[in-house]
């Protein structure tokens, strides 16, 4: 075995082999199982995308109907899960609530049979079905309301918006939300997927795998950036203030949230689609007050940081879309998690097919043969 140099953040070091998705960061290409994200977003829907990612092929009509039926059937939460959620503090972040809920599913569905395809299927269906219900339930409960039961006559995206906003959405925003779910469903070996893989490699249960990934997604350098983008746009406030604000931020060596990516050195293709979706929504339902600020910020960042390959990533325009859909900003990252669960589960399943526990090495930089100093002499 050759000894490799240490690279912070494992930049450029392959940690796995995978046939699930592909990114070309120089050309701005993203493919799920070989299909371009633009084509999927234009022609597909979230559940068939999830099926494609997890089982490797687009489902036939019958396979998709069965999958949709199973997910619809499993959307409800056991009353004891709802009781558990009632004890969560309403001031807690919804990502923490979601992580606790995902882990708790392992308590309620404790059978673990990783070599049984029926078990794998049930776990996939339960997680995809229940995570949206848990996110919406926490939102209503923290406002002091009872959660809204899922509606079997509504599709995956429409049902989530219905449970969240307590009214049936128009088909157009429901479709836009479904596209958002497709765009966020998978993205090679990012931090949360890596976390899922490491956890999966110990052969623990899939609920622990997803809980671990949710905890990783929550950070502001990863999924949490979408929430921070709105805070940043509010702070900038006006188009006129964009360039002075940016100048100050760069002078302080601050990060511009929603920009930059380890892999993409051009505009993230998902950001391009999300910007188009935002514009479609604004045309129909009115412009977001911060959209012009966002567009000017994109221009200003390109002028200042384009030479470093810093362009909008997936988190830059998603928040503006979500705001228009009535989603509060601290739910942006849980919504990301709803969608990314598909990718995490695809990697979990792939890892199980050829598992070896992750156990990398380290370069030790500490002391050797140090002396133990008794406490009274320290
Ligand atoms: N604003 C200002 N400068 C930046 C930014 C940014 N958003 N991103 C990177 N840079 C600069 C950075 O200062 C560094 O400059 P220099 O070489 O002069 O020191 C150079 O670009 C390389 O940056 P890095 O932080 O070493 O790059 P990385 O690959 O380790 O980090 C990143 C990637 C996404 C964490 C980073 O770009 C960042 O912090 N972005 C802001 C947070 C964000 O939007 N996160 C969402 C990521 S995409 C979706 C997701 O993963 O959920």
List all residues whose CB is within 6 A of at least one atom of ligand 1.
Answer: 9, 190, 221-223, 225, 255-262, 305, 308, 310, 313-315
Q: For 57-84, what is each residue's pLDDT tens digit?
A: 999 999 999 999 999 999 999 999 999 9
Please, what are the domains in the chain?
Answer: 18-221+339-353 (1.10.580.10), 225-324 (1.10.230.10)
Q: For 88-116, what is each residue's pLDDT tens digit?
A: 999 999 999 999 999 999 999 998 999 99
State the Cα–Cα distance between residues 101 and 82, nearest whole angstrom.
Answer: 10
* Mean pLDDT to the nearest integer, 7-16: 92
Tell me what the pLDDT averaged over the chain comes to.
Answer: 96
Query: In the prediction, which pLDDT does 306 show?
Result: 96
Q: What percent of the chain has pLDDT over 70?
A: 99
Query: In the prediction, which pLDDT does 5 show?
Result: 83
Which residues, 6 or more positions from 155, have their beta carbon under 8 angstroms from its beta carbon?
45, 47, 68, 174, 178
Rounded to 5, what percent of the chain is helix, strand, coil?
Answer: 60, 5, 40
* Mean pLDDT to the nearest integer, 310-322: 95
Structure tokens at 14: 């392959």
Question: Is residue 6 scored above 70 in pLDDT?
Answer: yes
Query: In the prediction, which pLDDT does 245 show?
Result: 98
Ligand 1 midpoint to CA 261 (Å): 6
Confidence of residue 2 (pLDDT cuts 50, 70, 90): low
Query: In the prediction, which pLDDT does 173 show?
Result: 96
Hey, how many other C-beta atoms are within 10 angstroms of the C-beta on 14? 8
Nearest Cα residue to atom 34 of ligand 1: 261
Q: For 341-355, what is each residue's pLDDT tens digit?
A: 999 999 999 999 999
Q: Do the beta carbons of residue 105 and residue 126 sit within 8 Å?
A: yes
Query: In the prediction, which pLDDT does 165 show?
Result: 95
Question: Is residue 169 scored above 60 in pLDDT?
Answer: yes
List the catalytic residue out of 261, 268, 288, 347. 261
Question: Is residue 3 scored above 60 in pLDDT?
Answer: no
Ligand 1 midpoint to CA 260 (Å): 5
**Residue of 255, 332, 333 best suited for mutating to test ligand 1, as the one with most atoms within 8 Å of CB:** 255
State the Cα–Cα distance between residues 50 and 65, nearest whole angstrom.
Answer: 13
Ligand 1 midpoint to CA 320 (Å): 21
Residue 223 CA, closest ligand 1 atom number: 52
Question: Is residue 1 scored above 70 in pLDDT?
Answer: no
State the Cα–Cα distance between residues 106 and 208, nearest whole angstrom.
Answer: 7
- Residue position matching structure tokens 């140090």: 370
Query: In the prediction, which pLDDT does 335 show?
Result: 97
Nearest Cα residue to atom 35 of ligand 1: 221
Identify the burial level of 330 via C-beta atoms within 10 angstroms of its C-beta, where 0-12 means exposed, 13-18 middle and 19 or more buried: middle
Q: For 235-286, what is each residue's pLDDT tens digit?
A: 999 999 999 999 999 999 999 999 999 999 999 999 999 999 999 999 999 9
Handedness of CA 65, 140, 330, 135 (dihedral sign): negative
Question: Is residue 322 scored above 60 in pLDDT?
Answer: yes
């Amino acid at each position: 075995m050759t000894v490799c140099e240490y690279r912070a953040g494992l930049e450029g070091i392959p940690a796995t082999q995978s046939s699930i998705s592909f990114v070309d960061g120089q050309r701005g290409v993203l493919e799920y199982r070989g299909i371009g994200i633009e084509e999927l977003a234009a022609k597909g829907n979230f559940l068939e995308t999830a099926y494609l990612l997890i089982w490797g092929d687009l489902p036939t009509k019958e396979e998709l109907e069965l999958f949709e039926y199973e997910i619809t059937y499993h959307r409800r939460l056991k009353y004891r899960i709802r009781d558990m959620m009632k004890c969560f503090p309403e001031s807690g972040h919804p990502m923490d609530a979601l992580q606790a809920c995902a882990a708790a599913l392992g308590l309620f569905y404790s059978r673990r049979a990783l070599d049984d395809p029926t078990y794998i299927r049930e776990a996939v269906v339960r997680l995809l079905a229940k995570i949206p219900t848990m996110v919406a339930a926490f939102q209503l409960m923290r406002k002091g309301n009872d959660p809204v039961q899922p509606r079997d006559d509504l599709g995956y995206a429409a049902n989530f918006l219905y449970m969240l906003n307590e009214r049936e959405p128009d088909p157009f925003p429901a479709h836009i939300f479904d596209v958002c779910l497709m765009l966020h469903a998978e993205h090679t070996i990012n931090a949360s997927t890596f976390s899922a893989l490491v956890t999966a490699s110990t052969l623990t249960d899939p609920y622990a795998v997803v809980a671990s990934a949710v905890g990783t997604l929550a950070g502001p350098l990863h999924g949490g950036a979408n929430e921070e983008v709105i805070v940043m746009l509010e702070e900038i406030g006006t188009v006129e203030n964009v360039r002075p604000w940016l100048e100050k931020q760069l002078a302080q060596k601050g990060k511009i949230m929603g920009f930059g990516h380890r892999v993409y050195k051009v505009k993230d293709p998902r950001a391009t689609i999300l910007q188009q979706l935002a514009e479609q929504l604004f045309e129909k339902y009115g412009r977001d007050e911060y959209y012009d600020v966002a567009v000017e910020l994109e221009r200003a960042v390109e002028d200042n940081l384009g030479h470093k390959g810093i362009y909008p990533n997936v988190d830059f325009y998603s928040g503006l879309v979500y705001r228009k859909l009535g989603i509060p900003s601290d739910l942006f990252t849980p919504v990301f998690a709803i969608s990314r669960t598909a990718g995490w589960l695809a990697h979990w399943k792939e890892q199980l097919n050829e598992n070896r526990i992750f156990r990398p090495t380290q370069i030790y930089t500490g002391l050797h043969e140090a002396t133990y100093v008794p406490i009274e002499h320290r």
